[in-house]
């Protein structure tokens, strides 16, 4: 795995009825939802790193610290960018931003961790069994 500091990726979406605050249950208004902005930021980061990983590896988000600074109405395009700021073995830090045609709407920091897909899913399944047993 070789990931260059400074590498960037961008992804975009159009604000519509599926990604507004009232639909995401993060508010009552028909504007781009904060959870959807965060998901778009994570998508930009995950796609950026996935290109450098071998088969059987992926990344999972482990930390997100963002501010949602401006509202975006239905019909507008939102673009999220992720820029690698640090790599420490399997931990990767990003600067994330989101903007629409009027300017920046969100910014912050995000951290992802490289995992072995099979091992990660096995642990998730084991945890699922423990939860089921606890609820029985």
What does the alpha-carbon distance between residue 91 and residue 88 come to, in Å, rounded to a whole number? 5
42 is catalytic: yes
- Cβ neighbors of 90 (< 8 A, separation 6 or more) are 113, 114, 115
* Catalytic pick among 13, 59, 68, 72: 68
79 is catalytic: no
End-to-end CA distance of the chain: 43
* Catalytic pick among 42, 72, 81, 111: 42
2 is catalytic: no
What does the alpha-carbon distance between residue 24 and residue 33 come to, in Å, rounded to a whole number? 7
User: Is residue 53 exposed (0-12), middle (13-18) or buried (19+ Cβ within 10 Å)?
Assistant: middle
* Catalytic pick among 4, 8, 17, 34: 34
> 54 near 1, Cβ under 8 Å?
yes
What does the alpha-carbon distance between residue 14 and residue 12 come to, in Å, rounded to a whole number? 7
Q: Could you give the residue numbers annotated as active site?
A: 34, 42, 68
């Amino acid at each position: 795995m070789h990931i260059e500091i400074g590498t960037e990726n961008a992804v975009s979406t159009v604000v519509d009825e599926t990604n507004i605050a009232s639909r995401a249950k993060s508010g009552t208004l028909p504007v781009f939802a904060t959870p959807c902005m965060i998901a778009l930021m994570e998508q930009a980061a995950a796609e950026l790193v996935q290109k450098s990983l071998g088969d059987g590896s992926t990344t999972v988000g482990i930390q997100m610290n963002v501010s949602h600074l401006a509202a975006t109405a239905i019909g507008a395009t939102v673009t999220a960018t992720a820029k690698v700021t640090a790599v420490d073995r399997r931990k990767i830090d990003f600067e994330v931003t989101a903007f629409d045609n009027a300017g920046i709407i969100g910014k912050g920091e995000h951290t992802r961790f490289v995992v072995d897909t099979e091992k990660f899913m096995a642990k998730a399944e084991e945890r699922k069994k423990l939860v089921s047993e606890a609820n029985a």
